[in-house]
Structures are given as structure tokens and as C-alpha cells.
A = this chain, B = another copy of it.
Amino acid sequence: MRASLPCLAALALSACAHPLVEPAGPPAPPPPSSASLAAPAAAPADPLDALDGDEGMWTFDAFPSARVEKLHGFAPSAAWLEHVRLSSVRVGGASGSLVSARGLVMTNHHVAHRCVEQLSSKGHDLVADGFLAGRDADERRCPDLEVLELLEIRDVTERVTGATRGKDDASFHAAQKAELAAIEKECAGDAADTRCDAISLWHGGRFHLYRYKRWQDVRLVFAPEFGAAFFGGDPDNFSFPRFDLDVAFVRVYEAGAPAATPHHLAWSREGAKAGDLSFVSGHPGATSRGLSVAELAWQRDVALPARIARLHEMHGMLAEYQQRGPEARRTAEGTLFGLENGLKALEGRLLALRDPKLMATKQAAEAKLRARVAADPALAATAASWGDVDRALERLRLVRPRYDYLERGAGLWSTLFGHARTLVRAADELPKPNRERLRELGDAALPAVRQTLASPAPIASELEIEQLTLSLTLLRQELGADDEAVRRVLGPASPREVATRAVRGTKLASPKVRAALLAGGKAAVAASSDPMIALAQSVDEAARAARRRFEQEVEGPLDRASEAIARARFALDGASGYPDATHTLRLAFGTVAGWTEGERAIAPFTTFGGAFERHTGRAPFALPPRWLAARGKLDLSTPFDLVTTHDIIGGNSGSPLIDRDARVVGLVFDGNLPGLGGDYRYDGRRDRAVAVDVRALRHALDRVYGAGRVLGEIAAKGD
């Protein structure tokens, strides 16, 4: 269970393609630091001095207030941190913030995109046209969005490492998984509004339990037109200057009424200016800064290239599919957008990994650590861990194709198939004790599973056929036509025949049918003649086998090795710095600042006027009609987007940018191209977060959208 391998949930098939919106898959755990080892052997003067300026995605329980004060003259208090934590929310796989006492949540349009698309239908394209609810009753429920507020962080390291102590490679993973499930179950009980995730930090250096308030009744309040939210489209994505109003508002409900949310953020009137200190509170998805050199090389040479190639294949298909007509265009748009976003992000990561300087730095650091470990008799057992990593990666080379294609969805790209797999597996898993189940069907995950199965969101069957055809074709190509699992799935038929038959014949597009199969359990699933259920059954044994092999031969050994390395590092240096991102709440600090690209200085702000200059009238450079009509009413000098030095990554989408008074000064929605290397390091000279200025939000809501109802609800504080 590693941060570098997210997207284990069969349900999250398509989310695998959205690195900026990280999948909300099962949380990641590992173990470390027995008391004796965790005791710092020697505490350096200030180990944080090794960091680069504003570097760091800090957990709220270990925020370096002293360092921020030293660098920027301001130290967030405990009360400040608590208020910000409770005003921050996780929205799906990304971020958001509470901005009113009545549960109003601000996030990015692209975070809510899926909901906006699901609420659309032929002739009612909310993605293209935008949405504004005039009153509570008009707010429309998002079929499968979940919002979480972090209530508590607890250290459970001792308990988890105790459960795996002395386990060998093959049993390590099962023991850890069972203990994590037990911890989560004890925490959440049967409360549907509580979610508990036991997560691994420091690649096994610590285990923490994150307890959340959970809302599943989430309703859309406002979304601008896609053309305004994503002006500049793929060509401008991850770049700057930008002119995007990438915002959406949703509201969390309890018992049919807007939830009371005493902790929420006010908006700044005046915004931030260049050089101002600010903070980003959000959920960076997964970074790989603490990975071993061998694991980084694996990502560079195998994992990323394979994924990029597959995403290009999918993207080429979908772009052409859209030519079938307006409905095809509408139903494929969100996925296409996710693919484009994912491709840029992955290609940026690959570029960073191919930089010989980056790898040289990593190699030098690892060599130094290994030398120190080798020189310390107390750490003798750890010295072999790097060799264990090498061997696990050797096995991964063999295991990866079947694991990726049969179990992780690369060969079965279809929402309907995802439902079928969930139902087939739920029938097998739910009768088991919680500790023994697949983690994505453990008690802690069940509310999300139920929400997904109950989602009334329409499923575009023509698109499903194309996706499944393409992925089955890749499956056959990757594993070979003679592979036993491929033969079971395809029989003598072609991928297109199998896909068409399953999609056209299935009843799983209906939430009622899914509910009945879930409720009916093993008997109902066994009695089903649904061809998509049959497809899921035909591949399940092989997929489970591939997963078991991965867990026992690769994941377990890797987790064991990196836990040992993490513990050795703690023993030598103490727990300084910040752990790699794990989809959990972090706080970053930084300032508004442009950067220099080659010889070109890039200013930190754009204005409304710039958007009109860039407007060509053709997507993706076409401002929507509302904007063109409102032009005369707009102050074109209003700041639009801005860049800051905060250390962010995919998953931070929708994070509020807040000043020292915890007032919103912006809304993070992107990073710049150099920042894509942020998976592996932070570079304060060039890595930038991209945000919508709060002044742009206010001005557009007021003058373009007439969204006084939303604005009126948000407290505004000025100088």
C-alpha cells in the first residue's frame, strides 16, 4: 500500500487518469519506529535548514510555525491552525474550503466537473452553459461526491508496527492490512457520517489515524461555463499567464438541510500583493520525494512511460470519438479533460526524472544515508533493505502487466465494468470478517462504495463500448492472445464484440438493479445472467491472483524495506521535515511571486483585460457569451489569476489560498510546468502554484454571473 501506487479501487478506474484530482482510493498505510529506534541519535541544530525556502507539505499536527516566523515574520497559532483545519475539506480526490456558516464549499470547477457533467443531459449541458441555483431548493445533488472535514489526528504507529513485527515478505502485507482495517473499524464504528483512515507517513516511518466528518449529500450551487473555468484549455494548462475562473460552489447537507459549519473562511476584500505571505490548506495527492533511487528509476523507465503511452492511446480515441456529434462531445468531455491534464502532469514528472541532476542529487543523498547506516552497528539489519527493494522491483517487472491490466483497470476501462466488479467482489467479500476483506470493501470504505453504486448519474453506453473495446485490445496486446485470462475474457470473439455485448446487454446502468444485486449478495450475483457481471466473473480469479502476487511479492517486501529505511533515518536524524504527500490534509506556506523562464520574466498577476486580448472566439480560447455581454460592466484591470511559491501537487486543486488572518485571497487550481517535477523535489526558484485571485471571484460572480446570492453568504473582511 504505497503512495506511489494509488488507484487500487476498481471503482476508481477513470480517476486513475486524473493526477491533479487524485483518486479517493483506499488510504495508504505503513509502519515504523519502535520506541528505541525512533529516539533521535543526534538532533542537528535545525534540520529544517536543509529545506529550500518555502518547501514543504506540512501535516497540521507538526506545522513548523517557528520556521515560518523566521522566514516570513509570522507564526500561526494553535487556534489559527485548528480554525484553518476545520475550515478545509477534502472534495472527492481533491480540496476545498468551507466559506459560509451554511455549509457552502468553494472548490475548483474541475474538481466538481464530474458532478456538473452527471447533472447534465442531452439539451441541458451544464458544463457548457454553467449553473447557478437561485435558492436552496434549486441546488442539485451531486450523484457521487463526498466531502470530508478532518476532525482529529492520532498516532497509531506502535499498534501497526506491533502487528507486523517479525512477519516475512509473504505475510507482511496481510497482517498490516488486517490491523489497519481493525483500527479504522474501531474508530468509525457504524457511523455513516464518520470516516477513519489509517495512513502511512514517511513510507512506513509513522502510522496516523485521520478521523473525518463525512458528508455524502453534496449539492451543486454554482458553476461557471467550462469555457471560462478552463479558458485556454489544454494548450494553456500548467502554464502562466492564465485567465481561468476555475471555481465552483457546492453545499454540504445534513438531514435534508444545509449543514451548520461554524468553522469557515471569510474572504479578503483587497487580496494579496506580490511578496505577501500566504498559506495553502489542501490535500496533495501523492509525492515521491522519499522514494529510493531504484524506485524512482522504475517510475522513470517503466511505470510512467507505460502509463503515458496508454493515456495517449485513450486520448487519441476519445478526441476522435467526439466527432460523432454533440452528445458524443458532451459525454466524453470530462474524461478527455482528465486525460489531457493527466498527460501533461505525467510528462512533466517524466521530464523531471530524466534530469540527470535530479537523479544525481537523489543518488548522492541515498549513498550518504547508506554509508551512515552501514557505519552504525545498531542499524546493521537495515543495510540489506536497498537490496530488498531491488529484488522487489525485479519481481514487479514480471508481475506488473497482469496486475495493471487485470486488476488495476488498464485492461477494463468502463464504469459499468467497475460496478460489476464491485458487485461480484462484494458478494464474496462482505460475508467475511472485516479484517480479512479486500480493503476497498472493508467497513471503513463501505459508505463510499454504497454511494457509488447508488449514483443516479447517467452512463454513456456508446462511450463505454469504445472505452472497453480499446482497453480489451490493449489487454490482449499486453498479455498476448494466448494468455489464459485473455482467452477466458475474449473467447473466440474480438474485443469489440465482447465490449458491445456486455455494454448493450447489461442492466447495471440502473442504480436499482445494482442495489438489488448488492442486497441479494452471493446468491443474486450467482443467479445473474447479466453479461457485464459475467465479464467481471470471467476475469476475477486471474485478477485476484495478480493482485495477491503483487501484494505478497512486491508491495509487502517494498513496504517492509521502506519501513526499515524510514526507521533508520529517524534513528539517525529524528523526524524532521515533512512526510511525502498521502492525499491527506497539509498546510503549505509561501508568497505571491513570478518567476524567470529562460530569459523571460513572468509577472505574478494577470488581469481581466488579458483574457479579452487572448479571446479568439474558438475553443479553447473563446470567452462565453455572458462574458462578452458583460464586458462593458467589467473593470478590466481587475486581477484574474496569480502565481505563488507554495509547495503543492495534484490533489491541491481547490485549496484556498489564505492570508495570515486566515482570509481567502485566492483559489489554487493548477501548478506551472516546472512544478510538475514537484513529485520528486521542490524548487523555489521555478515551481509555482496557480490560483484565481479572490478579486476575480468576487468581480465575476457579481458582474458576469449576477450571483449575489452566493456572494452575500460569504463574509468579506477588508482592511
Q: Do B319 and A493 touch (CB < 8 A)?
A: no
Q: Beta-carbon contacts of A482-506 to B below 8 Å, as 1s and 0s?
A: 0000000000111001000000000
Could you list 15 A-B pairs, sorted by A, with CB under 8 Å? A232-B481, A235-B476, A236-B481, A305-B350, A309-B312, A310-B312, A313-B315, A316-B316, A316-B320, A316-B470, A319-B470, A320-B320, A320-B321, A320-B466, A494-B619
Going nearest first, the 4 A-B pairs with the smallest beta carbon separation are: A316-B316, A492-B616, A312-B312, A316-B317
Give Cα distance in the complex from A565 to B621, angstroms.
51
**Chain B nearest CB, measured from A377 CB (Å):** 32
- Given A492-B618, A616-B492, A477–B234 Cβ distance below 8 Å? yes
Is A480 interfacial (CB 8 A cutoff)?
yes
Give Cα distance in the complex from A94 to B665, angstroms.
63
Give Cα distance in the complex from A108 to B318, angstroms.
34
- Given A305-B305, A305-B350, A477-B235, A492–B316 Cβ distance below 8 Å? no
Residue on B nearest A241 in the bound complex, by CB: B482
Give Cα distance in the complex from A619 to B490, angstroms.
13
Residue on B nearest A466 in the bound complex, by CB: B320
Identical copies of this chain, number: 2
Give the residues in chain B near A616, CB-CB below 8 Å.
Answer: 492-493
Give Cα distance in the complex from A616 to B493, angstroms.
8
Is A617 interfacial (CB 8 A cutoff)?
yes
- A236, A470, A481 — which one has the most chain B CB atoms within 10 A of its CB? A481
Give Cα distance in the complex from A317 to B621, angstroms.
23
Q: Could you tell me which A residues sit within 8 Å of B by CB distance?
A: 232, 234-236, 239, 301-302, 305, 308-310, 312-321, 323, 347, 350, 354, 466, 470, 473, 476-477, 480-481, 492-494, 497, 616-619, 621
**Chain B nearest CB, measured from A649 CB (Å):** 22
The majority secondary structure among interface residues of chain A is helix
**Chain B nearest CB, measured from A610 CB (Å):** 12
Give the residues in chain B near A301, CB-CB below 8 Å.
Answer: 354
Give Cα distance in the complex from A314 to B312, angstroms.
8
Give the residues in chain B near A232, CB-CB below 8 Å.
Answer: 481
- Given A309-B312, A477-B234, A477-B235, A319–B319 Cβ distance below 8 Å? no
Give the residues in chain B near A235, CB-CB below 8 Å.
Answer: 476-477, 480-481
Give the residues in chain B near A621, CB-CB below 8 Å.
Answer: 481, 492
Residue on B nearest A617 in the bound complex, by CB: B492
Give Cα distance in the complex from A476 to B319, angstroms.
15
Give the residues in chain B near A354, CB-CB below 8 Å.
Answer: 301-302
**Chain B nearest CB, measured from A314 CB (Å):** 6
Apart from A302-B354, A310-B312: 12 A-B pairs, beta carbons within 8 A? A235-B477, A235-B480, A305-B350, A312-B312, A313-B315, A313-B316, A316-B316, A318-B320, A319-B470, A319-B473, A320-B320, A497-B618
Give the residues in chain B near A312, CB-CB below 8 Å.
Answer: 309-310, 312-313, 316
**Chain B nearest CB, measured from A337 CB (Å):** 14
Give Cα distance in the complex from A309 to B481, angstroms.
24
- A235, A236, A616 — which one has the most chain B CB atoms within 10 A of its CB? A235
**Chain B nearest CB, measured from A310 CB (Å):** 8
Give the residues in chain B near A308, CB-CB below 8 Å.
Answer: 305, 309
Give Cα distance in the complex from A315 to B477, angstroms.
14
Give Cα distance in the complex from A481 to B621, angstroms.
10
Give Cα distance in the complex from A315 to B316, angstroms.
7
Q: Which of B236, B239, B494 contacts A618 (CB 8 A)?
A: B494
Give the residues in chain B near A618, CB-CB below 8 Å.
Answer: 492-494, 497
